[in-house]
Amino acid sequence: MSAVFHQFYLSCLAHASYLVGDDEAGECAIVDPQRDVDVYLEAARERGLTIRWILETHLHADFVSGHLELARRTGATIAISHRAGAEYDHRALRDGDVIDIGDVSITAWETPGHTPESMCFVIAEGDAPPSRVLTGDTLFIGDVGRPDLAGGAGYTSEQMAALMFDSLRDRLATLPDDCEVFPGHGAGSACGRSMSSALSCSIGKQKANNWAFAEQSKDDFVAALTGGLDAPPAYFPHDVGWNRRGAPDLDEAVELLDVEAAAAQRRDGAVLLDVRAREAFGECHVAGAVWVGLDGQFASWCGAVVPMDVPIVVVAESDERAREAKLRLARVGLHDVRGWLDGVTAWRDAGQPTSSLTSVTVDDIEGSDELTVLDVRQTAEHHDGHVPGAVSLPLRGLAARLAEAPRGPLAVICESGYRSVIAASLLAAAGHDDLVNVLGGTAAWRNAGKQLEAETSLS
């Protein structure tokens, strides 16, 4: 067998991309590349392959693709749906178009539903039946793509959900049961709601176990897919625009700023983005700084809480971490990083304002008559069970809804303690000065054997 197949997985964005090729032909295609493309160049070089094609399943909303940079560095042809309105040189794919790489064929199937231009790529070798299908954000393991990202294209969520119903039944369900599904995302992506952490599965198992293939009317499917959707992150439309136009090449260098320069950037409107460990942030941070830890799903949460049109100064503990932050910010279209500040010691010693964030345990908040518990998990998580009396205000839309947050004293809680610190930093920057973070989050409450209750929601 001469076929070559490899899955790349970027956990920060729960993003999967792919190399599909043929050893004997010495060529390959890269599907849905991440912004920083060296990983594909190295993989192709190690296998002795030339990258001839760059295929996009759709205009991604949750990350900025590296398709243009990869094309510039390899001379490969970019191929994307004719419905995408791409503004760069490309091959416009239509339903049934085939790209041959040696003995491997990649057939484009139009599968609208997540977006109007969504495509799946069906892979076969020689005369054999299809062995793999790259489903992008159409079909995940255990779920399907959200249908509410095509408003600018003139479609309602209900119209897109109806198209998804047809794409699943009329196209994907017709593949052989042993054909392996390889999606564009795993658990944690904002492009779906209940996707599995598994990164592949057979079509047959998906037809048996994925709710979207269950016996149901189109109306019931549409209602299920569109009901209870949290608002998508605010950066999604911006990234669609970058992916339609193509992003500039990456520049990973970042300038070290002294206190005076960092303060000047802040006066000019820059966000100070603290990427240090949450314990360090809690102990002391620049007053009004927004915290998003590099050790979590950093890029997607930055896209959700940092405005796309403001400059950024990164607060980090080393040049290496600052450069990592800049790279990961670029993956979601946050390009304007003005420099980095080396921790907060010099800032504090220069007399610049600092603050801290107190953390408490679940025992501290149990039965408290003074604290309002603010649950910043997703609506579905809140509905599944929350601390009694907790009010729901999901982090994903919090930046636009800060005025709806109850006044203090507030105890901010999520599932494990990552999102709650992000939310607490946003609230503090907006003037909430009477709040604490709940260590270990709802998981700690649950693990302590404490009772959860049904919904109480502002959303």
Cα 97 from Cα 418, distance rounded (Å): 44
Could you tell me whether strands 98-101 and 104-110 are parallel, antiparallel, or unpaired per DSSP bridges? antiparallel
Tell if the pTM clears 0.85, that is, is over it. yes
- CATH 3.40.250.10 range(s) for the chain read 251-355, 359-447
The number of helices, as runs of H, and strands, as runs of E, in the chain is 15, 23
We find that the CATH architecture of domain 251-355 is 3-Layer(aba) Sandwich (3.40)
**pLDDT by residue for the chain (459 residues), tens digit each?**
589 999 999 988 999 999 999 999 999 999 999 999 999 999 999 999 999 999 999 999 999 999 999 999 999 999 999 999 999 999 999 999 999 999 999 999 999 999 999 999 999 999 999 999 999 999 999 999 999 987 667 899 999 999 999 999 999 999 999 999 999 999 877 777 777 889 999 999 999 999 999 999 999 999 999 987 877 888 999 999 999 999 888 888 899 999 999 999 999 999 999 999 999 999 999 999 999 999 888 999 999 999 998 999 999 999 999 999 999 999 999 999 999 999 999 999 999 999 999 999 999 999 888 999 999 998 889 999 999 999 999 998 899 899 999 988 999 999 999 999 999 999 999 999 899 999 999 999 999 999 999 765 554
Question: Domain 359-447 maps to which CATH number in 3.40.250.10, 3.20.20.70, 3.30.460.10, 3.10.50.40?
Answer: 3.40.250.10
Domain 3-243 matching CATH 3.40.50.1220: the answer reads no
Cα 404 from Cα 356, distance rounded (Å): 23
Are 6 and 106 in contact, with CB atoms under 8 Å apart? Answer: no
| DSSP structure string for 4-67 | EEEEEEEGGGTEEEEEEEETTTTEEEEES--S--HHHHHHHHHHT-EEEEEE-SS--SSS---H
